[in-house]
Structure 1
Amino acid sequence: MGTERPASTDAGRDGMEIWHNPRCSKSRAAKAALDEAGVKYTERRYLDEPPTAQELDSVLTRLGLEPWDVARLSEPVAKELGLKNLEHDRARWIEVMAAHPVLIQRPIVMTGGSAIVARDSESVQRALDSQ
């Protein structure tokens, strides 16, 4: 059902979109659940098509979270950058995460005006229910 598409500043506002990393088992499981549900969605391989700082800021607002809430602090680049000790300055964290998209928790599913970090089946179901 899903289709790949070029990066967009809409970040799923007009339909369902998944920020997907096919190498991640949780991301693959979420995508499979969307396929099984038969919903139309757009797949964005965010490591190949990184979000801009503006897109990331918009998605974080829709998630109701701060960038440090969805940062993958165990990634080697996070350790290299000293991310755990970086001051909680939203703009700075967004800048760092946009420059290093591997730091973004995955998958993120967006529907209409909301977004969910869909790392388990319950979260995926909430995304499906909210469309």
Structure 2
Amino acid sequence: MITIYHNNRCSKSRAGVALLKDSGKEFKIVKYLEDIPSKKELEEIISLLNIEPIGLVRKNEAIWKESYKGKDLSNEEILDAMLANPKLIERPIIVNGEKAVIGRPTELINSII
């Protein structure tokens, strides 16, 4: 089952949902701002993306700039920051089995569906 971690206020995230609908494949939407992933889930997503936790952070968010930017944070502290402030999590994230992508640009989603 394909899962998209989605924020409806984000145009790229809405485009990702539209692309998945157009694909005809079954998928599940996780509104991650409301249904915050567990630390384990977030670690699994990061592992599937093959990135460090900092690669999943939206660094232009005010929360990041005001509270975290310029600090020497461990991976654990970055994970904790995303869990405490899910708005910091990049979007959309699409997971299909053992593969995952950040759907920016939206066309990247095609590589795993």
Bigger drift between 100-109 and 114-123 goes to 114-123
Give the share of equivalent positions with the same residue, in percent.
Answer: 34
- Give the gaps of 5 or more residues in structure 2: none
Length, aligned pairs only: 113
How large is the Cα RMSD of the aligned pairs?
Answer: 1.1
Equivalent residue runs for 1:1-131 within 5 Å: 15-81=1-67, 83-128=68-113
- Give the gaps of 5 or more residues in structure 1: 1-14
CA deviation after TM superposition for structure 1 residue 85, in Å: 1.5
Q: Is the 8 A contact 1:18 1:41 kept in 2?
A: yes
Large movers: runs of 4+ above 6 Å: none
Distance 1:105 1:36, change over 3 A: same
TM-score when normalising by structure 1: 0.82
Mapped to 1, the partners of 2:29 and 2:104 lie a distance apart of 16
Q: Is the 8 A contact 1:107 1:118 kept in 2?
A: yes
Q: In structure 2, give the amino acid aligned to 1:98.
A: L
TM-score when normalising by structure 2: 0.94
